[in-house]
Amino acid sequence: MERRLMPNEIKPGLESLPMPVKIVLLSVALVVIAAWTFAMVL
């Protein structure tokens, strides 16, 4: 079994991303979390 994508290998890749990409990823994550909590409340 290959375990290529370890968290400590992914993080440097994320930090090398340009700022707009980080902002988009953060906003997408926030929307997903908000939708999930909304679904849990209902």
Residue pLDDT, tens place only, 29-39? 999 999 999 99
What is the per-residue pLDDT for 3?
Answer: 58
> What is the Cβ-side half-sphere exposure of residue 32, based on CA atoms within 13 angstroms?
6
Global pTM value: 0.53
* Cα end-to-end span (Å), the chain: 40
Rounded average pLDDT over 8-20: 71
CA distance 34 to 30: 6
Query: Residues 16, 19, 23, 25: what is their CA dihedral angle, to the nearest 10 degrees?
Result: -30
Average pLDDT over all residues of the chain:
79
